[in-house]
C-alpha cells in the first residue's frame, strides 16, 4: 500500500516530521501536493479532502495522511499511527504512550517556535507584529528553548537502555522529530543555539547520529528534502536572534 502524505508544497513545516519517518522506514509514499496534476496530484486533491462534503472525518489542516480508507490528521497522531506499522515505535503499550507524550511536547515546542515570529496572529504579516515578536522571541530563546532542551537532555540521560535514543534501545519516531526540531532551531536562532547546544551534548549527539543514518543522509542530500526558507515554522529573522 502506498501512503499518501498531504501537506503544503514549498515548505518543510509540520509535514517534514512525517516525511522523515517515511524516509527512514523506506516506505512507499506520495507527497501529493508536490506531484503533477497530470497524475491526479497537486493542491487540488488536498483541498478536496479539506473541503469535500463527502469526507466523513475531514482533517482541520495539513499535514494529514491517507492509508487506504483511513485519513489521519495532526502530526503527533500521524506518527502515533505510523510508528508501529513502520517499526519506529516501541512494542509495549506504556512505552508507546511515553513516546506519544514526548511527541506532543515536541508539538508544543514547534508551536512556540512559530509564535516567536507570529505572536499576535497568523493572519498578519511578520512586519505587522515585529515589536511583539521581538519580546516573544527573547523569552523563547532565553527561557523556553533551554527549558525544552534540558527536558529532552534529561530524558536521554535517564533512558535505562542508554542515552542514544529518547525511548528504548533503538530509533523511534521521536528521535527523528527531535532531529528536525534542532535543525529548525539552528536555522532560525543560530546564535542562541550555538550557545545552548554545548550544554545538551546528548541532544547534539542524537542529532548528528540521525543525520548519518543511511536513508536519512540520502534524503537530506536529495531534492525531496525541501530547502529551509522563511515561509514555514522556523524562520530566520536576525533581529529575533538577540
Q: What is the pLDDT of residue 105?
A: 98
Cβ proximity of 226 and 175 under 8 Å: no
User: What range does the domain containing 56 cover?
Assistant: 3-85
Q: What is the pTM of this model?
A: 0.96
pLDDT tens, residue by residue, 157-191: 999 999 999 999 999 999 999 999 999 999 999 99
Distance CA 220, CA 227 (A): 9
Per DSSP, the chain holds a count of helices (H) and strands (E) of 10, 4
Is the Cβ–Cβ distance between 186 and 193 less than 8 Å? yes
What sections of 189-240 are H helices per DSSP? Answer: 190-196, 201-211, 214-220
**Domain membership flag for residue 110:** yes
pLDDT, residue 241, reads 96
Does a structural domain hold residue 242? no
Considering the domain architecture, whether residues 137 and 192 belong to the same structural domain is answered as: yes
Residue 78 shares a structural domain with residue 143: no
Q: Do 204 and 147 fall within a single domain?
A: yes
Q: Would the pLDDT of 35 be above 90?
A: no
With 90 as the cut, is the pLDDT of residue 148 above it? yes
Residue 124: pLDDT over 90:
yes
Number of structural domains in the chain: 2
Q: Quick: pLDDT tens for 48-68.
A: 999 988 889 999 999 999 999
CATH number at residue 52: 3.40.30.10
- pLDDT tens for 210-228 read 999 999 999 999 999 999 9
Tens digit of each residue's pLDDT (9 = 90 or more) over 73-109? 999 999 999 999 999 999 999 999 999 999 999 999 9
- Same domain? For 30 and 66 the reply is yes
pLDDT at 37 over 90: no
Contact 152, 178 (CB under 8 A): yes
Domain stops at, among 85, 110, 143: 85
| pLDDT of 38 | 80
C-alpha cell at 120: 499576535
Domain identity same for 134 and 73: no
pLDDT for 52 equals 86
**Which CATH number goes with the domain that contains 99?**
1.20.1050.10
Q: Are 142 and 71 in contact (CB under 8 A)?
A: no
The band of 1, judged by pLDDT with boundaries at 50, 70 and 90, is confident
Cell (9 digits) for 225: 528534502
Amino acid at each position: 500500500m502506498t501512503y499518501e502524505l498531504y501537506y503544503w508544497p514549498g515548505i518543510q513545516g509540520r509535514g517534514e516530521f512525517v516525511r522523515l519517518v517515511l524516509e527512514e522506514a523506506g516506505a512507499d509514499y506520495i507527497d501529493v501536493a508536490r506531484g503533477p496534476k497530470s497524475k491526479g496530484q497537486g493542491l487540488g486533491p488536498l483541498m478536496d479532502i479539506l473541503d469535500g462534503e463527502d469526507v466523513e472525518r475531514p482533517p482541520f489542516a495539513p499535514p494529514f495522511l491517507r492509508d487506504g480508507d483511513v485519513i489521519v490528521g495532526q502530526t503527533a497522531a500521524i506518527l502515533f499511527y505510523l510508528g508501529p506499522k513502520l517499526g519506529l515505535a516501541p512494542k509495549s503499550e506504556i512505552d508507546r504512550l511515553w513516546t506519544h507524550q514526548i511527541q506532543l511536547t515536541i508539538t508544543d515546542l514547534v508551536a512556540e517556535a512559530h509564535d516567536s515570529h507570529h505572536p499576535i496572529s497568523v493572519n498578519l504579516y511578520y512586519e505587522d507584529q515585529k515589536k511583539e515578536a521581538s519580546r516573544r522571541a527573547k523569552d523563547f530563546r532565553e527561557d523556553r528553548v533551554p527549558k525544552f532542551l534540558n527536558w529532552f537532555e534529561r530524558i536521554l540521560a535517564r533512558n535505562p537502555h542508554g542515552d542514544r535514543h529518547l525511548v528504548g534501545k533503538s530509533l523511534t519516531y521521536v528521535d527523528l522529530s527531535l532531529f528536525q526540531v534542532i535543525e529548525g532551531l539552528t536555522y532560525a536562532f543560530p546564535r542562541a543555539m550555538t550557545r545552548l547546544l554545548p550544554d545538551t551534548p546528548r541532544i547534539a549527539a542524537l542529532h548528528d547520529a540521525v543525520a548519518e543514518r543511511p536513508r536519512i543522509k540520502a534524503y537530506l542530500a536529495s531534492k525531496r528534502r525541501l530547502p529551509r526558507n522563511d515561509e514555514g515554522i522556523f524562520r530566520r529573522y536576525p533581529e529575533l536572534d538577540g
